[in-house]
């Protein structure tokens, strides 16, 4: 799959990705920090330490929304309460609301509306300004990253065992029956960002950032 472009991640465990028009923003699963990355050199421009571990991040057009989660050694539903925060380099981190059912990993934003993914529950959720669910889309696979381009979700998903990575498309107002698998990914992806030309996703386990264009998808069939 030579059409994939790989960059060594400047941080260990790259996880959440967002593009603001000039800078790539990246969260780390290794330490939970947030980084501003120079897309020309893939070097760290700035590092930010949030109140807890950062997961998914999205750019709203003026600032960012990101999910913060407590650092716990083992999955524990009594302790794993996740929140959506507002972030800007100037103002820092501000708690906004708790995730629905305390669960959420990745975010996307379109025209001021924030969408949240729940990987364990296999859901995409449209949120109102207070964090309440407005609309829920139940998926067959686990969503582990998303962005919105031209009225559609572009997702990375995995199977029940968190493998078989895929890049998929779903109209923002459609139900899950309309989802379109666009390509397989030979790694376990996390997050999706779009810079106006290329899609970006994180190969978290191998500490790499991977990109490709829609034009390159025809040479990458979906595995059965």
Asked if residue 148 lies in contact with residue 171, where contact means CB atoms within 8 angstroms, the answer is: no
The chain-wide mean pLDDT, for the chain, equals: 93
Length in residues, the chain:
224
Examine the pLDDT at 1 and tell me if it is beyond 50. no
Summarize pLDDT for 159-176 with one digit per residue, the tens.
999 999 999 999 999 999
The pTM score is 0.93
CATH superfamily of 5-219: TolB, C-terminal domain (2.120.10.30)
Q: What is the pLDDT of residue 215?
A: 85
Examine the pLDDT at 2 and tell me if it is beyond 60. no
**Minimal CA–CA distance to 213: which of 224, 202, 197, 201?**
197
Residue 54 to residues 4, 83, 214, Cα–Cα distance (Å):
26, 10, 29
DSSP state letter for 223: P
CA atoms of 96 and 98, how far apart (whole Å) = 7
Summarize pLDDT for 132-154 with one digit per residue, the tens.
999 999 999 999 999 999 999 99
CA atoms of 118 and 145, how far apart (whole Å) = 10
CA atoms of 107 and 124, how far apart (whole Å) = 9
Which residues contact residue 4 at a Cβ distance below 8 angstroms, ignoring those fewer than 6 apart? 186, 210, 211, 212
CA–centroid distance for 23 within its chain = 16
Summarize pLDDT for 67-87 with one digit per residue, the tens.
999 865 655 556 678 999 999
């Amino acid at each position: 799959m030579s059409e994939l472009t790989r960059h060594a991640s400047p941080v260990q465990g790259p996880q959440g990705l967002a593009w603001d028009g000039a800078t790539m923003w990246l969260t780390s699963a290794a330490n939970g920090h947030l980084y501003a990355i120079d897309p020309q050199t893939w070097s760290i421009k700035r590092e930010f330490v949030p109140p807890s571990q950062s997961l998914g991040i999205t750019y709203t057009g003026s600032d960012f929304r990101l999910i913060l989660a407590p650092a716990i050694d083992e999955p524990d539903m009594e302790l794993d309460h996740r929140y959506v925060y507002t972030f800007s380099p100037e103002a820092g981190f501000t708690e906004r609301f708790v995730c629905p059912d305390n669960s959420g990993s990745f975010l996307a934003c379109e025209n001021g509306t924030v969408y949240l993914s729940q990987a364990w529950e296999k859901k995409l959720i449209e949120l109102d300004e207070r964090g309440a669910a407005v609309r829920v889309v139940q998926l067959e696979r686990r969503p582990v990253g998303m962005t919105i381009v031209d009225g559609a979700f572009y997702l990375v998903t995995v199977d029940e065992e968190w493998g078989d990575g895929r890049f998929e498309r779903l109209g923002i107002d459609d139900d899950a029956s309309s989802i379109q698998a666009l390509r397989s990914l030979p790694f376990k992806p996390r997050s999706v960002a779009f810079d106006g030309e290329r899609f970006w996703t994180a190969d978290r386990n191998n500490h790499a950032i991977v990109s490709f264009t829609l034009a390159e998808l025809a040479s990458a069939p979906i595995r059965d």
